[in-house]
Amino acid sequence: MADLGFEVLGLDVDAGKIARLSNGDLPFYEPDLEPVLRRNLENGRLRFTTSFRDLADFGDVHFLCVGTPQKADGYAADLSHLDAAVDALAPLLRRPCLVVGKSTVPVGTAARLAGVLARLAPVGGDAVLAWNPEFLREGFAVRDTLRPDRIVAGLPAEQGAAEHAEKVLREVYAAALADGTPFVTADLPTAELVKTAANAFLATKISFINAMAEICEASGADVTRLAEALAHDDRIGGRFLGPGLGFGGGCLPKDIRAFMARADELGAPRALTFLREVDEINVRRRVRTVEVTRRALGGSFAGRAVGVLGAAFKPDSDDVRDSPALDVAASIQAQGGAVTVHDPRATANARRVQPSLRYAGSALDAARGADAVLLLTEWREFRELTPSDLAPVVAGRVIVDARNVLDPAAWRAAGWTYLALGRP
């Protein structure tokens, strides 16, 4: 927003995080974001605070970008952080403003928060709530923000408030709209559902091709060729049709579970029962990767060294939340394997989550002395590895390509046992 020319004040309750951001230091890795941060700190359009009073006095538009993790005791979304943000901000809104939710929430949350805002905001504050879900992909967040594929505006039911909210959001996103980005208006519950439905569809597509991988393994077929053929069908397409270890991170897994939980609450439990199988297929990919590796090592990890390439749930990120790669590494260690992990960006976060694993500063160091090497996160530097790169350092020439990104023929020709999910 600052890069688009707006004056921006960002708030977090974590004083340490605010201090780092104010110094131009990102608390997480996202390609191309650090120059944007520093540029707008230097030009004065971007500042940070821990004070809700400062925020309320400053803003014409307040974006709520608060996380909604899965509850510890079930599938439902934990909205406590979002509720706390609204409770803290609303009583301080003493002038007309638009409050815009961007968090991924169960349908019905926006209407509830609109009631909270109306109840807590001072008389005459004239605060209106809209919902504008975010569709940012980790690793592409800067591009997705500046050049979104669509903008969804969930508007209040009252005509005057809806007209005002749409007008303000069109001003906020004027640059993207001028470039032809579609602007979709909807009621509040529909806007909430756009995000959760999109994530449910993407998760289903990933698990579909991984279900086909299970059939391919049983029949001797090649899931990568199957996926390639399906991708030529315009009705299906190739995006999110990459077979392998499956999805993870802080969005898809918890969002489909929260969607199921909300369907139960709404009295429509059967509508989303298929998502339970989507989730289970995804988890089975992790178990299958461990099984394939164990079988390649003679049926046991005891006394065996395993090199793991990747800890982040996806490349170009340092996010290890619900990471399939880290889950596989920990499972192998729990079964007696000596596991060494390397990730270009996520090592520090992985070490906090799985401190008992060993970590290396390079792919070669992770593979050194390994009886098997597992490629679990498809970082470019891992995709570009050749058999001759690893051969001098490994103890055994076994490579498990859990992301189907290496050339099987090249590795096998070099004397390696090449194994992958869904391929002969």
Name the residues annotated as catalytic. Answer: 251
Query: What DSSP string describes 355-413?
Result: TTSEE-SSHHHHHTT-SEEEE-S--HHHHT--HHHHTTT-SS-EEEETTS-S-HHHHHH
Hey, CA dihedral for 200, 201, 203, 207, is it positive or negative?
A: positive
Assign 155 to helix, strand or coil: strand
Partnered with residue 94 across adjacent β-strands are none
Query: Structure tokens of 268?
Result: 């429509």
- Residue closest to 74 by CA, chosen among 232, 264, 249, 217: 264
Q: Which residue has the tokens 């992790």?
A: 286
Residue 108 CB burial class (10 angstroms; 0-12, 13-18, ≥19)? middle
| Residue 210 burial (CB count, 10 A) | 24
d(CA 424, CA 418): 10
Distance in angstroms (rounded) separating the CA atoms of residues 224 and 422? 8
3 state DSSP class of 365: helix
Which regions of 226-356 does DSSP assign to beta strands (E)? 305-309, 338-342
Q: Where are the alpha helices (DSSP H) in 232-272?
A: 252-265
- Residues 145 and 154: their CA atoms lie apart, in Å, by 18
8-state DSSP, 77: B
Q: Encoding tokens for residue 106?
A: 């169960």
Q: Measure the CA–CA gap between 241 and 238, rounded to whole angstroms.
A: 5
In contact, 196 and 275? CB cutoff 8 Å? no
Cβ atoms 27, 21 nearer than 8 A:
yes
Q: Give φ, ψ of 397 to 5 degrees.
A: -90, 70
Buried b / exposed e across 308-328, counting CB within 10 Å, b at 16+?
bbbbbbbbbbbbbbbbbbbbb
- 215: tokens are 């059939």
Other residues' Cβ atoms within 10 Å of the Cβ of residue 44: 9
